[in-house]
Amino acid sequence: MYAIILGAPGAGKGTQADILSQEMNLPHIASGDLFRQALEARTEVGLLAKSHMDKGELVPDEVAIKIILERINQPDCASDCLLDGFPRTLHQAEVLDQALEERGKSIDRAIYIEVPNEVLVKRLSGRLLCRTCQAAYHIVNSPPKIPGRCDKCGGELYRRSDDKEETVKERLNVFFAQTLPMLDYYKKQGKLIKVNGNQEIQKVTEEILSALRAPISS
Ligand code: AP5
Ligand code: MG
Ligand code: ZN
C-alpha cells in the first residue's frame, strides 16, 4: 500500500504516520524529517532547505522531489510506504505518480487530516520533538513522562525553529495557497479521504485505519 498523509502544519501528520507505520508495518517517509536530517549532516541540500524552511516557505519542487524519490527507491519502499508532507504541490503529485507508475505501482489512498486553524496554532506553539527518533509531544496535550526526554528512546526533546509564531503564520498561508488546491488531484481520482483531526490522537488513528482498510468508492 502507498498512502499519503496530508494536512496543514500541526494537523498531526507526523504523529499519525508514526503510529500507523508501526500498526501496519509500513515505512514512514517524511519530507520535513529528511530535510532536517540533511541539515544535521550539514549537506548542501540541508542548508538550502533550511533557508526556505526558516521563512515558512516550500523548498523548491526539484529539491523536494529528488530527496523523496531517492528515499522511496530504497528497498524497504519497494511495495509500501506512508508519505508524510509529500507531495505539497500539483507538480510533486504528478511526478510521484509517474515514478510509481514506472514500477507498476500507484497511490492507493490520500488521507487529509482536517483541523481548525486556531487549534493548529496551539498545537505548534506547544510542540516538542525528539532529536533522535522525531516522535512528537505536546507540553499540554501529550507531555513526555520525564521532562525534556523522549518516552520511546530517551532522546533529547527540542522545539523546531519554524514553530515560531511568525513562521507558523507563513506556513499556514503557504499550505492554504499551494497545497490545499492539490487535494483536488486526489479527489478527482477518488482517492481522497477526509478525517476529523480535531479529536483525540487515538480516535484520529481509528478513523484513518478504517479509511485505509475500506475499499475505494469510485
Ligand atoms: P514538515 O516537517 O512536513 O512540517 P509541516 O507540514 O509544517 O507539519 P508539521 O510537521 O509541523 O505538523 P504535523 O502535521 O506533522 O503535526 P505533528 O504530528 O507534529 O515540513 C517543514 C518544512 O519543510 C516546510 O515548511 C517546507 O519548508 C519543507 N518541506 C517539507 N516537505 C516539503 C515538500 N514536499 N515540498 C517543499 N517543501 C517541503 O503534531 C503537531 C503537534 O500537535 C504535536 O505537539 C502533537 O503532539 C500534537 N498533536 C497531534 N495530534 C494531536 C491531536 N489529535 N490532539 C492533540 N494534539 C495533537
Ligand atoms: Mg510533521
Ligand atoms: Zn525518541
Residue 16 lies in a domain: yes
Residue 26 lies in a domain: yes
Residue 121 lies in a domain: no
Residue 137 lies in a domain: no
- Name the grid cell of 98: 509517474
Q: Which of 19, 47, 50, 59 to mutate to test the pocket of ligand 1 (most atoms within 8 A of CB)?
A: 59
From CA 131, how far away is CA 119, in angstroms rounded?
Answer: 24
Pick the closest to residue 58 from 172, 197, 186, 135 (CA basis).
Answer: 172
Residue 70 lies in a domain: yes
Is 123 assigned a catalytic role?
no
Catalytic-role residue among 149, 160, 187, 194 = 160
Give the chain's domain count: 1
Task: Kindly report, residue by residue over 53-96, the tens digit of the pLDDT.
Answer: 999 999 999 999 999 999 999 999 999 999 999 999 999 999 99
Ligand number nearest CA of 38 is 1
Is the minimum distance from the CB of 9 to ligand 1 under 6 angstroms?
yes
pLDDT for residue 217:
57
- Name the grid cell of 94: 504528478
Backbone angles phi, psi at 23, to 5 degrees: -60, -40
**3 state DSSP class of 114:** strand
Is the minimum distance from the CB of 112 to ligand 1 under 6 angstroms?
no
Residue 108 lies in a domain: yes
Nearest Cα residue to atom 34 of ligand 1 = 86
Residue 85 lies in a domain: yes
Ligand 2 midpoint to CA 195 (Å): 17
Is 88 assigned a catalytic role?
yes
Is the minimum distance from the CB of 37 to ligand 1 under 6 angstroms?
no
Give the pTM.
0.95
Is the minimum distance from the CB of 46 to ligand 1 under 6 angstroms?
no
Q: pLDDT tens, position by position, for the chain (218 residues)?
A: 999 999 999 999 999 999 999 999 999 999 999 999 999 999 999 999 999 999 999 999 999 999 999 999 999 999 999 999 999 999 999 999 999 999 999 999 999 999 999 999 999 999 999 999 888 999 998 999 999 999 999 999 999 999 999 999 999 999 999 999 999 999 999 999 999 999 999 999 999 999 998 776 54
- Name the grid cell of 23: 500498526
Residue 172 lies in a domain: no
From CA 24, how far away is CA 82, in angstroms rounded?
Answer: 10
Range of the domain at 58: 2-116+178-212
From CA 76, how far away is CA 186, in angstroms rounded?
Answer: 25
The CATH number assigned to the domain holding 99 equals 3.40.50.300
